[in-house]
Amino acid sequence: MADPKVAVKGVSHVGIRVSDMERSKAFYQEFLGWKQIFDSAIQADALAKLMGPFGGGSDITGRACGGRIGELRVELVQIKGMPADPPTRGLGIGQLTLAVDNAQAMYERMNAHGVRTMSPPVEIMDCKIFFALDPDGQPFEFVEYMVGESGWSNETR
C-alpha cells in the first residue's frame, strides 16, 4: 500500500517549452482558448540549480506563463541559454490531446489561419482525430468523441 504522505494527488499541469512567448501565448489563446493566470520571470539562480544536469550554467534565464485550457492547467515556459536538445532529455510528452465538439470545424478554422495540420480529421478508434502543430512544432491532437461508441467516450469525468 502506498504511503499517504507521498501519494500523488493528481496532475498539476502540462508544461510546454516555447521559443517565443508572445507568439505562443497568442496561438494558445486564439486556437485553444488558453486563459492566462500568471506571467513570471524565473529566477536565474533557481533555474540554474533546477536545470543543473541539463547544462546552461548561471547565464540561463526563464519566463513562465500559466493558464487554463478548460480545466487543464497549461504552463508555457521559455528558457534562454539552455541547449535546445539537452543530452538527457528523454522522449517527452507525445502530444496534448484536446476534446472538441466538431473536429472538422476546428481543422478548417486552423487551416484558414495558416496553422500547420498533419491531415484532415480521420475516423479512428470511434473518434474523429487530427493533429496540428503550435508555432514551435509541438503536436496537439484534437479529438471528437462519437457518442455511444467505445473507448474514452463512455468514461464519465
3-state secondary structure 56-68: CHHHCEEEEEEEE
Domain boundary pick from 82, 99, 134: 82
Pairwise CA distance, residues 18 & 136, whole Å: 6
Q: Same domain for 112 and 157?
A: yes
In the structure, what pLDDT confidence band is assigned to residue 109 with cuts at 50, 70 and 90?
A: very high
140: which strand partners? 96, 132
Backbone angles phi, psi at 107, to 5 degrees: -60, -45
Higher pLDDT, 113 or 140: 113
Residue 64: inside a domain, yes or no?
A: yes
Using left for φ > 0, alpha for ψ between -120 and 50, and beta otherwise, residue 50 falls in alpha
Residue 75 has pLDDT above 70, yes or no: yes
Q: Are residues 50 and 102 in the same domain?
A: no
Same-domain status, 64 and 101: no
Query: Domain boundary at 82, 105, 134, which?
Result: 82
Q: Are residues 71 and 22 in the same domain?
A: yes
User: What range defines the domain where residue 42 resides?
Assistant: 12-82
Span 112-129, average pLDDT:
88
* 5 inside domain: no
pLDDT tier at 15, thresholds 50, 70, 90: confident
Residue 32 lies in a domain: yes
Residue 6 maps to a domain: no
CATH number at residue 105: 3.10.180.10
Which pLDDT score, from 0 to 100, does residue 154 have? 54
The domain tally of the chain equals 2
Whether 36 and 67 have beta carbons less than 8 Å apart is answered as: yes
